[in-house]
Amino acid sequence: MGGDGSGAGPGAGPPPVFGPARLGPLTLKNRIIKSATFEGASPRGVVSDELVAFHERVARGGAAMTTVAYLAVSPEGRTDRHCLLLDEATVPGLRRLTGAVHGLGALASAQIGHAGPVANSKSNRAPALSPSRRLGASGSLTHAVDGSDIGRITEDYRAAATRAVAAGFDCIEIHLGHNYLLSSFLSPKLNRRSDGWGGSLENRARFPRQVVAAVREGAGRGVAVTAKLNMVDGVDGGFDLPESVDVARMLEQDGHLDALELTGGSSLSNPMYLFRGDAPRAEFAATQPQPIRLGMQLVGRWFLKEYPFEEGYFRAPARRFLEVLDLPVILLGGVNRLDTVESALAEGFSFVAMARALLREPDLVARWELGVRDGGRCIHCNRCMPSIYSGTFCVEAGPRPVG
């Protein structure tokens, strides 16, 4: 199963990497999407020239669509005070960004979400929220959301979707991963509720499904709506693959999504499950104030675990979704080679999402289209991770100028 987005019938062969591809109401010029990577380029929550330039480089470099990360739907849902809040004030700046991307022949996607327990409550000056009261990412206790919070946040998602359309985005990606708020509701470890929003998988999925429906209503049918869903939290007792497959089926049956991008890991407890490769503990600790820096030195090897890097590391679990879904599936995770893209499409994935490889070489896709088959030069050192606090860049390649 698994739709290829091309409308090709059985026996038509794998879709080409470089050729028009359908994503809901959109036509993408190829099947490579720049996945969401926090750019660290929105000081005090303002769209900066650096943020626009970041996505101009991706668009100029040949990717069909670039994803802006991360746009919070609620003030307390920002990762910190430098995170963009998708309110009326940010729409003009985002419209400038999408216009620049469109002018270079690419499409633009807005990743929207609520950070939940991952939010820095001290920076936001607002309590972090979670399904059940617990210690949040900033070291403070979170507040367990109540029914009124769920209703308000659902409407915040709806309003954010409408604003994203007004800002010129072609696609909206709903963040259902990494133990942000909606992902934390899916997790049996983080969601200990005994009401209608917790317990069974159907109850734990109720809030995310409600949000997806609201986003579609707010966005309309003229833009694509996708979701980034955790397959595995990478945490004992967390959301796992069988439950994720069941949630994917629910989302497909609801009929509001045009594609599903599959991910894994927990920004709260196990971020390296997403990244794989070297764990930049010393570099990450150096970006933190005391006493967090000291804490990182003491517990860094447990928080930033090391997982060996392998090309396309999420491909094997993602195949489970191809087996049961007709909804197009986007492959993410350690894609650095053109032959990986080609074989993934032949297997049934509709699109391939790339991040670190394009951070190192924004023009990699354009070179591939010209016939160069060299693999990406990303060495998976992950030292780009700590750079999010000063403007995300590849440390090996060096900071890039604006424009």
State the Cα–Cα distance between residues 351 and 257, nearest whole angstrom: 15
Read off the tokens for 276: 């794989």
What are 329's strand-pairing partners?
260
Q: Which helix (H) or strand (E) holds 155?
A: helix 147-166
b/e map of 209-226 (b: 16 or more CB within 10 Å)? bbbbbbbbebbeeebbbb
Q: How far apart are CA 179 and CA 116, in angstroms?
A: 8
The verdict on whether omega for the bond into residue 291 sits within 30 degrees of 0, i.e. cis, is yes
Give the SS3 label for residue 262.
strand
Length of the chain, please? 403
Phi, psi of 392 (to 5 degrees): -65, 130
Question: Which member of 180, 273, 313, 389 is catalytic?
Answer: 180
Euclidean distance between CA atoms 321 and 242, whole angstroms: 10
Give CA–CA dist 191/201, Å, rounded: 10
Q: At what angle do helices 206-219 and 147-166 cross, to 10 degrees?
A: 30
Q: Are the C-beta atoms of 229 and 260 separated by less than 8 Å?
A: yes
Q: Is 180 a catalytic residue?
A: yes
Distance CA 60, CA 398 (A): 19
In angstroms, the CA 264 to CA 151 distance is: 27
Q: Which residues are catalytic?
A: 180
